[in-house]
Amino acid sequence: MNKLKNLRRKLHEAKVDGMLIAMADPFQNDNIPEYFQRIKFLSGFTGSLGTILVLKDSAALFVDGRYTLQAQNEVDPTAFEIRGHGLSAIVEWIHEKQLSSSHSLVIGYDPWDYTVAQINQLQAATESVTFSPLKINLVSEIWKDQPAITKTKVFLYPEKYAGLSWIEKLDLIAAEIQKKNIDALFLNSSFSICWLLNMRAHDTSYTPISLCFALIHKTGKVDLCIYLENLTPAIKKHFSERVTFHNLSSVDLKKSLPILVKGLKIGYVEQSAPCAIKQILELPAAALINVEDPCVAIKACKTPTELSHVQKAHLWDGIALTKFFCWLEKTVSSKKITEFEAALKLDSLRAENKHCKGPSFPTIVGTNENGAIVHYRANEESKTLKVNDLLLCDSGGQYFEGTTDVTRTICLGGNPTPLQKDVFTRVLKGFIALFLVHFPKGTNGMQLDVLARCSLWEAGFDYAHSTGHGVGHYLNVHEGPQNISPRSSPTPLKPGMILSNEPGCYLPGQFGVRIENLMVVEKSSHKDSHGNFLLKFRNLTLCPIDSTCIEKTLLSDHEIDWLNKYHQTVWTALHKFLNPNEKAWLKTAIAPFEKKDQAFSHQDSMRDSIIS
């Protein structure tokens, strides 16, 4: 592979034994701009999470369970070993290679792509290996047609959607900085900065942000490092009361930041700050202190204004999704449609709404075995859809009113196999369980995650991704700190937090099932034994769930009642916006189930067939 050969030549010139390559940028974005897509350039892997480690005679791509199948399909196995993701997997592979080396390894990395916390953890776990920051990114050195960094004009996000002015937000953060007994806070998260200043841009695909760094002073003043060509005179005037602008380039940052922080106690976030920033700040600053980003917790709990608007976004999204599934069901038997064409159709239906600013991530349409690839991406040569295919569709939209994310699995033709119905219904049971639970204040997502998996575990199934992630407000579709995951999550769920509810099950080579709605944490009417109100999840997403895929004998009366009420809510919200054909389709799709009391006979027989 010529790219690896050229990179190894650069390793030799740089006098290092290897290089770590991150699926990351200095701003910690989910959707990495093309300029930073070095893993894709080097290996062909197009997933959103991964790490490559290249040594002189071997290389590995580290991906988590969502991307194992995708990596196997996209990456040359003779060039890259495919391993699990995470610190322990990387350390284990390094130790394997260290045994065959006659000297201690020196591994280079780009200090703009790796955070202080990441390198500290790696170095602590591999004492016999030295991780050395590189002066230039060696992959960029061999990437002759590397795209330019995307630079787009900044625009203001209206206060009527945000709920708070940028001045009010800035005062809140300044008060938090004062509590930390520091002079200023350095932020490298574009999400936090754009939320804080009520500004947006289109520097990344799917997420409306401007690439920028910020130094927030305890006085409420801001030094904003941003590409100056992205600022119009009107934007500069709007922020002139509090914000001073500086050009965002590594050369300019090395000149401006030392002057700005000289003699000050600076807080920064080791978990997200690039190592290069620490190198720039630590000498001129009087002290450099690791702190949490105060924007994260505040923006996670949506304001009443944001919550009032986000329901409108889900209404518009539901209209587009209903039109799409009606069109798909009526068209698939009479016309050739590929996965790629179906995704384009859904995008076009969303775009018909003047309020939609674009998709919130690349639309996923995968049928049968492609549905088992968690983040499958169809292309122009993708499969043709056929009657009775099991199709997984995961999509979302960006609106000023909010960000959406919804997944449905449907059977095209309504004749799924018994196994497909069993798996689908177990996923549905986990999905409903989260909407039925009432939980005490202080509960975190890890404590609830098991509810979504219980029915799958009973049959020996599971899934390798989190059950839920936080969602931003006309921002990133993946937002922290809240989540629902089996991994440790100390963040308690609080009213106003929006999360996804998306259990799934994936049988490689056969099919995948995922059902996803967004929901918001709110106060329940139920109380605990001490008289304290509990919390619960309120649904936001409006889209029918395919009843032909449900084995209703697996559902309890309580679950059937929830499903019927949900479908009635969908009908009430959407039907007035549909044409007669679409309305008739939706009426059939949400037909209520009768309650039955015979869940266990089917459950036992399916478990026996799975075990045998």
Top mean-pLDDT range of 68-72, 121-125, 149-153: 149-153
Say how far apart CA 597 and CA 248 lie, in whole Å: 64
Q: Given 501, 525, 551, which residue is the final one in a domain?
A: 551
What confidence score (pLDDT) does residue 596 get? 64
Tens digits of per-residue pLDDT, 85-105? Answer: 888 899 899 888 876 666 789
For residue range 387-434, what is the model confidence (pLDDT) as tens digits? Answer: 999 999 999 999 999 999 999 999 999 899 999 999 999 999 999 999
CB within 8 Å of 123: residues ≥ 6 apart: 129, 130, 131
Q: Based on the domain organization, do 351 and 454 belong to the same domain?
A: yes
What residues are paired with 107 via a beta bridge? 18, 131
Residue type, 306: E
More confident residue, 551 or 65: 551
Q: Indicate whether 326 and 273 sit together in one domain.
A: no
Q: What is the pLDDT of residues 243-266, one digit of tens each?
A: 999 999 888 999 999 999 999 999
Which residue among 82, 116, 142 closes a domain? 142
Question: The domain that contains 82 carries what CATH number?
Answer: 3.40.350.10
Q: Is 293 exposed, middle or buried (0-12, 13-18, 19+ CB in 10 A)?
A: buried
Question: Number of structural domains, the chain?
Answer: 3
Q: Same domain, yes or no, for 212 and 346?
A: no
Which tokens in the block code for residue 476?
A: 């990133």
**Would you say residue 354 lies in a domain?**
yes
Residue 339 and residue 252 in one domain: no
Based on the domain organization, do 130 and 24 belong to the same domain?
yes
Q: Is residue 198 part of a domain?
A: yes
- 356-359 and 287-290 as β-strands: parallel, antiparallel, unpaired? unpaired
In a domain, 192, yes or no: yes
Asked, for residue 582, whether it belongs to a domain, the answer is no
Tell me, yes or no, whether 334 lies in a domain. Answer: yes
70 domain residue, yes or no? yes
Q: Is 563 helix (H, G, I), strand (E, B) or coil?
A: helix
φ/ψ (deg, to 5) at 394? -125, 120
Report, as an integer, the average pLDDT of 151-180: 97
The C-alpha atoms of residue 236 and residue 240 are separated, in whole angstroms, by 6
Question: Which tokens belong to 61?
Answer: 């791509």
pLDDT of residue 333: 87
How is residue 268 written in tokens? Answer: 């920064």
Let me know whether 356 and 318 are in one domain: yes
Q: Are the C-beta atoms of 453 and 468 separated by less than 8 Å?
A: no
For the record, the structure tokens of 151 come out as 């630079």
Structure tokens at 319: 């209209």
**For the residues 295-321, what does the mean pLDDT come to?**
97
> What pLDDT shows up at residue 607?
44
Mean pLDDT, the chain, rounded, equals: 94
Determine the pLDDT at residue 421.
98
CATH for 515: 3.90.230.10
- Secondary structure of 229-298 in HEC code, one letter for each residue: HHCCHHHHHHCCCCEEEEECCHHHHHHHHHHHHCCCEEEECCCCCEHHHHHHHCCCCCEEEECCCHHHHH
Q: Buried b / exposed e across 173-186, counting CB within 10 Å, b at 16+?
A: bbebbeeeebbbbb
110/42 Cα distance (integer angstroms): 15
Whether residue 232 is found in the same domain as residue 340: no
Q: Is the pLDDT of residue 64 over 90?
A: no
Q: 606 lies in a domain? A: no
What is the per-residue pLDDT for 555? 97
Does pLDDT of 606 surpass 70? no
Are 365 and 221 contained in the same domain? no
Parent domain of 437: 304-551
Same domain assignment for residues 135 and 198: no
C-alpha 231/C-alpha 224 separation (Å) is: 11
Residue 99 and residue 170 in one domain = no
The verdict on 187 and 57 lying in the same domain is no
Domain assignment of residue 12, yes or no: yes
Sign of the dihedral defined by the CA atoms of residues 480, 483, 486, 492, in that order: positive
**DSSP string for 396-437:** -EEETTEE--EEEEEETTS---HHHHHHHHHHHHHHHHHHH-
Q: Is there a contact between 11 and 54 (Cβ–Cβ < 8 Å)?
A: yes
Full-model pTM:
0.92
586: pLDDT strictly greater than 50: yes
Boundary residue ending a domain (503, 521, 551): 551
- Verify that 402 and 536 share a domain, yes or no: yes
